[in-house]
Amino acid sequence: MFENFKAYLVDKSGIESSKCEALSRTVKSLDFKKGSYLLRPGEICHHTFFVEKGLLRAYTVDEQGKEHIIQFASESWLMSDRSSAYFNEPADYFIEAIEDTTVILIDKELINALSKQSESFRRHNNKLLHNHIRHLQKRINMLLGASAESRYLDFVQMHYDLTLRVPQWMIASYLGITPESLSRVRKELAKKNFKP
Amino acid sequence: MKTKKVELVVAPPAPHFVGDGFRVHNFIPGGYHLDMQRMDPFIMFDYNSKFYFPPSDQPKGVGVHPHRGFETVTIAYKGKVAHHDSAGNSGVIGEGDVQWMTAASGVLHKEYHEEHFSKEGGDFQMVQLWVNLPAAFKMSDPKYQGIKSDQMGRFQLPDDQGEVAVIAGEYMDVKGPATTFSPVQMYNVSLNKNGEAQFSFPAHYNTGLLVLEGNIMVNGSEQAETDRFVLFENEGETFTIKASEDAKILILSGEPLNEPIAAHGPFVMNYKAEILQAFEDFNLGKFGYLED
């Protein structure tokens, strides 16, 4: 049984443990090596990926060929290209495994079946969706107006261990700042907070 | 005194790279029951067996990374490593030298092949150990001991059998220069062919040895070849090693701390909450700053 997926179903969504065991036999999982792609722009993918183990990033490449990271997903996070998964349109994003990763594939049918089975799952899933939108709103707001330091502090609060799992330039890309700015932010924080 | 018997002779696990400068076999925490508790206070043991690095203008190594809650001990056998940390310490160690860095409450450090060695290329052979700190010292001030080969305590074995260089602890009344936070014995032993030495540690101390060169016989019956790690039972006190050919051996023995271990990446504390605190402190710059 996938421990993180089970926790997502049982602890967070209130699905009975016995039903969960039955479910675990039917869900599909896939393993991806570091550096391999789960999705590329233009492809259609009907799944949302639940990260059981490892780390994903979703990103785009702009007209100048520069990468912009939209989201990271580590253990127990969900990642999806909604144009593709919910609107049957070609995907906008690359989704890449940046560590060896195991994902559980979630599709609309599974969500519907779980929602029918359990009212609490439906409520929880709905709450997750709103939480995702809330997070995106905050992210837009911060990209428009927050200082590099505020963006960094917000990022490490949400992803406390990613500063040790991903290279600096990826964090800078996610924050919408240059690697040099990120370096400056960290130096300033050290100046403020380091008490030798 | 009772004989301390061999529990396991471990062949080096498949190597992997740490950064691009260290090609290591990880003995601890690894398979063969060698988890963090088994050799406590030695909670991590990476061994870069003799490996040729070709010349490189860009020194290979490991970039800036944090540590908290333990000590990193690097023992150089071949090649040279340069170290810099956020506490302002730096140093270069070469053959026979030891770098003993007490990360304790937290440092950032980086380790690279020393520039000249990197340019020339050559054989590289190192051990890196993590020695756990007792709970009472995990948040103490960081410290750095760069110990040169000529500072080691040296005991000459009789009849030209070889010598015991004492890094930490004591052998035959010869003391080692490294200061430790719990009882630790660490020796580099050189034996000439047919040379023999006897060692004695309390039964409950966790004890092991690594054969860096040559071939040895332990307690007259167990053979250990180059690059083998030998784990001893926690019964009996005394064991002997005899060199079948010229040999170099690292001997480790320490009193177990027997405290809870919560470990995540570069942080080793007693409880999970302290690990989360370590991440937060690292992210907020409380470990200082070090240029890559």
Does residue B202 sit within a domain? Answer: yes
Predicted-complex ipTM score: 0.89
In a domain, residue B269? The reply is no
CA angle at residue B58 from B55 to B60, to 5 degrees?
80
Helix (H, G, I), strand (E, B) or coil at B8: strand
What integer pLDDT is reported at residue A1 of this predicted model?
Answer: 66
B277 in a structural domain? no
CB atoms B283 and A196 under 8 Å: no
Banded model confidence at residue B1, pLDDT cuts 50, 70, 90:
confident
Most A-contacting residue of B62, B284, B290 (CB-CB within 10 A), to test interface: B284
pLDDT in tens, B130-189: 999 999 999 999 999 999 999 999 999 999 999 999 999 999 999 999 999 999 999 999
Euclidean distance between CA atoms B104 and B287, whole angstroms: 11
Residue numbers of A between 102 and 161 with CB closer than 8 Å to B = 156, 160-161
- How far, rounded to the nearest angstrom, does the alpha carbon of residue A162 sit from its chain's CA centroid? 12
Per residue, what are the HEC states of B160-215?
HCEEEEEEECEECCEECCCCCCCCEEEEEEEECCCCEEEEECCCCCEEEEEEEECC
Partner residue opposite B285 with nearest CB, options A160, A164, A193? A193
Per-residue pLDDT, B292: 82
Between chains, do A186 and B289 touch, taking CB under 8 Å as contact?
Answer: yes
Contact B265 A195 (CB under 8 A): no
Residues 35-74 of B with CB under 8 A from A: 65-66
At residue A14, the pLDDT reads: 74
* Per-residue confidence band for B27, with pLDDT thresholds at 50, 70 and 90: very high
B278: in domain: no
| Band of residue A6 on the pLDDT scale cut at 50, 70, 90 | confident
Residues of A in contact with B66 (CB under 8 A): 164
What CATH number is given to the structural domain containing B133? 2.60.120.10
Predicted TM-score (pTM) of the model is 0.92
B65 labeled part of a ligand binding site: yes
- Mean pLDDT on B202-224: 97
A28-32: strand order across its sheet: A28-32, A101-106, A48-53, A78-79
Q: Determine, for residues A194 and B287 on separate chains, whether the beta-carbon distance falls below 8 Å.
A: yes
Residue A154 Cα, gap to closest chain B Cα (Å) = 11
Tell me whether residues A192 and B282 touch, CB distance under 8 A. no
Peptide bond into B29 cis (omega under 30): yes
Q: Is B144 on the interface with A (CB under 8 A)?
A: no
pLDDT, one tens digit per residue, over A58-117 is: 999 999 999 999 999 999 999 999 999 989 999 999 999 999 999 999 988 888 888 888
Q: What is the pLDDT of residues B69-103, one digit of tens each?
A: 999 999 999 999 999 999 999 999 999 999 999 99
> What are the chain B neighbours of A189 within 8 Å (beta carbons)?
284-285
pLDDT of A50 > 80? The answer is: yes
* Whether pLDDT at A3 is above 80: yes
Q: Contact, B73 vs B128, CB < 8 A?
A: yes
Residue of B134, B138, B174 whose CA lies nearest to B157: B174
Mean predicted confidence (pLDDT) in B20-45:
93
Structural domain contains residue B181: yes
Q: Between helices A148-158 and A119-145, what is the axis angle to 10°?
A: 160
Predicted pLDDT at A7: 85
Residue with tokens 């233009």: A42
Q: How far apart are CA A196 and CA B287, in angstroms?
A: 9
CA distance A178 to B290: 18
Asked whether residue B287 is domain-assigned, the answer is: no
Cα distances from A62 to residues A65, A69, B273, in angstroms, run: 5, 11, 41
- Contact at CB, A163 and B282, closer than 8 angstroms: yes
Closest chain A residue to the Cα of B141, Cα to Cα: A196
Contacts of B276 in chain A (CB under 8 A): 160
Q: How many domains does chain B have?
A: 1
Q: What is the dihedral of CA A136, A141, A142, A145, to 10 degrees?
A: 160
Q: Which of residues 172-191 of A touch B (CB under 8 A)?
A: 186-191
> Of A164, A187, A193, which has the smallest distance from its Cβ to B284's Cβ?
A193
Please determine, for residue A169, whether its predicted confidence score (pLDDT) is greater than 80: yes
In A, minimum Cα distance to B284 occurs at A189
Beta strands in chain A (DSSP E): 28-32, 37-39, 48-53, 56-61, 67-73, 78-79, 94-97, 101-106
pLDDT at A18 over 90: no
The whole-chain average pLDDT of chain A stands at 92
8 Å CB contact between A49 and A78:
yes
Name the residue with tokens 């036999």: A25
Q: Which helix (H) or strand (E) holds B24?
A: strand B22-28
B86 touches chain A (CB under 8 A): yes
Considering the segment(s) A3-118 as one domain, its CATH architecture is Sandwich (2.60)
Size of interface A-B (CB pairs under 8 A): 48
Domains of chain A, by residue range, sit at 3-118
Q: Which domain holds residue B132?
A: 6-254
Q: Within 13 A of B7's CA, how many CA atoms are on the CB side?
A: 16
Question: How far is Cα A56 from Cα A101, in angstroms, rounded to an integer?
Answer: 8
